[in-house]
Amino acid sequence: MEDRIEIRNVNKFYGRKQALKNVNLTIERGMFGLLGRNGAGKTTLMKTLVTLHKKDSGSITVCGIPVESAKEIRAITGYLPQDFNMYPSMTVWESLDYLGVLSGMERKLKRERMEMLLKKVNLTEQSRKKVGALSGGMRRRLGIAQALLHDPKVLIVDEPTAGLDPEERIRFRNLLCETAQERIVILSTHIVGDIEATCEKIAVMNEGEILWQGTVERLLREAEGKVFTVQVENRELLRVKEQYVVTGMVAHGTSTTVRLVAEKMPGLGQAAEAEPNVEDAYIYCLSSHGCEVMGGEG
């Protein structure tokens, strides 16, 4: 069985609104990041991969199995949705046990994996705690445990770090990286930091389209010479924001250091080229593809 997901010319409509536009992607073993704004179509694509949505056209194969073979796909995929919960009256252990039964797992194997996964996600001590009493971070970790319970070849996680504190976020990213060593892991997120810390290969999505795909390194390379810092008087800020895509600002009394993305060195005050980070590169990618980017607003 090949360790690859092939998505070819996939389209999906919600009534008249096209949620996926001719999506083409090849995803191989390891961490793969799907980056895009809220509403870019990431969740629709993820749900289509795990058979919770049907595509209107195109083809998808997951490890050689067409997505239409729902039962087989469900057997080899693990899914952590963005918005989920478990029966609050069940304990952590009972919840995993219940989902394991729904996955048709053999009793002994299920018990072994539950113990192993609870240890891995650091929830062993909470195993007898009711799910309703868990913190957001703990619930997310339980979420990843349930997604890995039946040892899937593909793990799909949708916005997993939203709402987590920095410490929990780092812990969660590390957990994902560990699991990606032996399977395909797709991380769908709008948080650039998550991608930067975990993924080697990514795709950028916007309005249902794949704008760009490749390695993070290439994304950064494409933004080289396009990111600048410039020191401007505060009264000049509004004009700068109107003219350029601003990715960061640091205030110093009456002046501000602005980090911006532009095709060439801006003719403003003390401008200097800066080394792009993934956030800059992502913003540059969006703006270079004609997407409206409100970098300096808010």
Task: Compute the least distance from the CB of residue 215 to another protein, in Å.
Answer: 26
The span of 17-25, 172-180, 241-249, 269-277 binding another protein (CB under 8 A) equals: 17-25
In the numeric block, the tokens 């997901």 are attached to: 5
CA-derived radius of gyration, the chain: 22
Q: Which of 59, 87, 224, 250 binds another protein (CB under 8 A)?
A: 87
- Chain centroid to CA 108: how far? 33
The residues that bridge with 35 in the sheet, in sequence order, are 189, 204
Task: Compute the least distance from the CB of residue 53 to another protein, in Å.
Answer: 4
**Residue 98 binds another protein (CB under 8 A):** yes
Sheet containing 65-66: which strands, arranged edge to edge? 17-28, 4-14, 57-62, 65-66
The span of 84-92, 113-121, 166-174, 213-221 binding another protein (CB under 8 A) equals: 84-92
Task: Compute the least distance from the CB of residue 32 to another protein, in Å.
Answer: 19
Number of residues that bind another protein (CB under 8 A): 42
Compute the half-sphere exposure of residue 165: CA atoms within 13 Å on the CB side of its CA.
Answer: 5
**Residue 14 binds another protein (CB under 8 A):** yes
Tokens of 6: 């092939």
Q: Dihedral angle at the C-alpha atoms of 42, 187, 61, 17, nearest 10 degrees?
A: 0
Tokens of 152: 């899937």
Site map for another protein, 207-236, x if CB under 8 A?
-x----------------------------
**Residue 3 binds another protein (CB under 8 A):** no
Taking the CB of residue 267, how many other CB atoms lie within 10 A of it? 8
Site of interaction with another protein (CB under 8 A): 14, 17, 19-20, 39-41, 43-44, 47, 50-54, 70-71, 74-75, 77-79, 81, 83-89, 94, 97-99, 101-104, 107, 146, 150, 208
